[in-house]
Structure 1
Amino acid sequence: MADAALRLSTLAEELLGAPLPVRIRTWDGSESGPPGAPTLVFRHRRALRRLLWKPGELGLARGWVAGEIDIDGDLYAALGLIAGLVWERDADADAKAAVHPLRDPRLRAAAKGLVGIVGPWPPPPPPPEEVRRRSGALHTKHRDRAAISHHYDVGNDFYEMVLGTSMVYSCAYFEEPGATLEDAQRDKLDLVCRKLGLREGERLLDVGCGWGSMAIHAAREYGVQVTGVTLSREQAAYARKRIADEGLTDRIEIRVQDYRDVKDGPYDAISSIGMAEHVGSVRYREYADDLFALLKPGGRLLNHQIARRPEKDESRYRIDDFIDAYVFPDGELAPLGRTVATLEEAGFEARDVESLREHYALTLRHWVRNLERHWPEAVRATSPGRARVWRLYMAASALSFEHNRIGVNQILAVRPRESGASALPLRARTWH
């Protein structure tokens, strides 16, 4: 077959009712599409079988992770052009794409066209990096532990290549667009400490402490006693070594522990940076209640969390297939308003909300560059599929932040004293 690209692009344009915005190159060497545009490369016809059985995002993702689909040209430009076909469809299109194509009248013709190119073979097995079928209730301790292990126990060497020396896996804070990633991550940690108003001798609980960066910064620069909790054993071991190297073992304790099992309050302050996305809507009120109970009256919470835009009909909200299958199993994003409301329902007083959306886009582009710079080593440290997962996930996420499809916010909240006093100073923002 010497014309697979033309047949495939014609089929796609018939289905979409519009010209394809990207060029297509297929395994037979043929090409079709607008000259000079980024090229979507189908290296194997197996990728089309994946699209036949899982039309839309998950089929494309499986082909990408397996190395059967690639992009020739600017990755961000290509993803931006494809976004309108895959990630920015309305809920009706998403619902139709979830139906097997042979049962959906709208997709039946496309399915027949794909069968004509690749043959009526059974669906290929998913790449091994995909999370296998999960059972049981969402966000039990056992299921959360497995989800966290899938994402964070990829290998500390891999994370060092992607995150850099700061080893901070959350949005940085760029005082200037040209700041280095390391400086921006240090400034983010300091921003959190200043918002919490940390003072020497106070107790800080760092929920989802990662590789210990926040705990080390708070103990070293502000003289607080820190308890950090994580479900990742690899993170905990790495954090403990860093803490010992810094000579801070008398100020920091790292535990492999679920936040729901922390019972040694009260704390003066709690930092939760990039952890609440794992909590889930069914557990979020419990999360808020637990953190409220762990703070003393006048205690402060800094909740740093990614947010999605609210849907017109929230009952139709669907978790992203690629993210759920390959990146954050069981992860959920909530609108900012719902998060603030839940914290208030738990008893908190929300004192400040700041959006860092553009900062996360910059952060992700730094991480993608780091990964690309260390590509051979990253592949050896994990697997080709896992490295491809991360490159796609981070680049697509950068575009989502840039295009305002998702955001990230720091919420400063206080457990009020019985008198109603917040214990915060009467002043305007001074942390900037």
Structure 2
Amino acid sequence: MSFPWAKQYTPSHPFMKWMDERLPLPRLVYNAVGSGYEVPRNLNYFWNFGFLAGLCLVLQIVTGIVMAMHYAANTEVAFDTIEHTVRDVNWGWLMRYAHANGASAFFVVIYIHIFRGFFYGSYKAPREMVWLLGVVIFLLMMATAFMGYVLPWGQMSFWGAKVITGLFSAIPFVGEPLQQWLLGGFAPDNAALNRFFSLHYLLPFVILGVVILHIWALHIPGSSNPTGIEVKSESDTVPFYPYYVAKDGWAIGVFAILYCAMVFFAPNYLGHPDNYIPANPMSTPAHIVPEWYFWPFYAILRAFTQDFFFIPAKLMGVLAMFGAILVWFFLPWLDKSPVRSGAFRPVFKWFFAILVVDMLVLFYCGGAPAEEPFVMISQLASFYYFAHFLIILPIVSAIEKPKALPFSITESVLGKDEDAALEPSA
């Protein structure tokens, strides 16, 4: 968002003047992430996770391109090409482990980014489009990650593909033809592996395009902030550069330490042991489970064990699994509270804390065997998950009495000192 007091790009070098007249790329960068972009001065460290998500995407694209140079999408050699990359290609082990753990890092960052949005009301007007595009990005990430998990063609890759694509057969009338169309046959084989590899390579660039739209939509109303109130004066903002570039730099340093610790010291910790065994269609693993970042939605899928009248349990599970993400699209209209930030909503805070615990329970149950008591716990957790968004949130937003908001962003940072509040930023 361009404020009247924001610095304007004025090139001084003759070449930069010539460039600005013909291709104003430096002006675009200056206004997007430089001194020309003013942001609220009270952003906390939860706002660093948007930048970290972009960094993770770049890491995944770069390492993925290198991995693709040595991969063959053929069921006879796919597993061996991954092992060849790790063992024989110069720095191949680094690319493989950076890419595999980068997917987990990406989802950790995104989950924190999403729940920050839940708490601080980042989905509320005038930022609905920013939120909707963010949900689209998450759905594309889920599809990309699933297809990538199939590519190593280990035991869990094959059986995961068989189970997940088998869910489409639950759709009445068109389910089985749709499943066969996705796989290119009746079971995961060469055709499916080629299709998944092509889409896994393509979708990150689609995600990059949607991310650009996401950032574009963000720059129209400007960044939200922990108080949820809008910018009122120059004292409420600071230039993105150098203040938040430095803050993002610190966050990158912490992220890099944790990321490198996983890549160098525990590269296979998050991988399933069965996926280090070549795929065998004649040997079913004892416990089929997807990657950890799918666990809460897998738990919701498995929570439905009984048919409901004429609706099969499998179909209800599939609808609930997809509905668990699709419900996020309606958050701007489900939460009608005039206050954005959960920091000023005492009742909302408690239910948000319960939602976080509920999500952690779903994570645990999704990775646990499909047996009691985990099935019953999944059912209770799934019920609360949907109740939170469809019942509790609308009711709380209608009856809750929020705390008094500060007069301005500056007041929330410096207190109610009028002289300090009116002092313009440097």
Report the TM-score range of the alignment, normalised by the length of the smaller protein: under 0.3
More strand by share: 1
Give the TM-score of the pair, scaled to structure 2: 0.21
More helix by share: 2
